[in-house]
Amino acid sequence: MVEAGTHEKGDVFVSIEDGKREVIIKSKLERLYGEAIRDTVEELTRGIEAKIIVEDSGALDWVLRARLEAAIRKYGGEKV
């Protein structure tokens, strides 16, 4: 399993682990940005066959993109 991000306010925590593709999203801003978060997560993780957990504490979209990208690279074994 790989992780990126934190649970601090304004940040988002992402983890990816082996398994059937499954995307679990929890956000404090579900009512206001649930759809936008889901769109970004789907866009960036398309084709990744793994269990993806996103726990959002109010991150801006570019923060979410950065955390997702970091987690995906770690999961793919890329050295940063």
Partner 1 sequence: MPINAVGREVPSEINGQRFKPFAGDLKTPPEGRRAGSLIRMAPRGRSKVINSLEEVIKKVGLEDGMTVSFHHHLRDGDFVVNMVMETIRKMGIKDIRIFPTALFPVHEPLVPMLTDGTIRRIEGSMNGPLGEATSYGAMRETAVLRSHSGRVRAVESGEVHIDVAFIAAPTADPYGNLNGVDGPSACGPLAYAMVDAYHADHTVAITDHLVPYPAHPISIFQHQIDYVVPVDKIGDPQGIMSGTLRITTSPSRLKIARYALEVIDRVALKDGFSFQAGAGGISLAVTKFLGDLMRKKGIRASFINGGVTKYVVDMLHEGLVDVVFDGQAFDLDAVKSLKEDKNHIETPLAMYGNPYSSGGIVNMLDVGVLGATEVDIDFNVNVNTHSDGLLLHGIGGHQEVAAGSALTIVTVPLYRYRVPVIRERVTTVTTPGEVVDVVVTEHGIAINPKRDDIIESMRGSKVPIYDIQDLQKKAYQICGKPQEPKITDDIIAAILWRDGTIIDVVYKVKK
For residues 16 and 59, which CB has a smaller minimum distance to partner 1 in the complex?
59
Please give the C-alpha separations between residue 5 and each of 13, 15, 22, 46, in angstroms, as whole numbers.
4, 9, 19, 20
- Nearest-approach distance from CB 20 to partner 1, in angstroms: 29
Q: Which residues bind partner 1 (CB under 8 A)?
A: 9-10, 29, 31-36, 57-61
For residues 5 and 74, which CB has a smaller minimum distance to partner 1 in the complex?
5
For residues 13 and 33, which CB has a smaller minimum distance to partner 1 in the complex?
33
Strand partners, 50: 18
Helices (H), 1-80: 30-45, 61-75
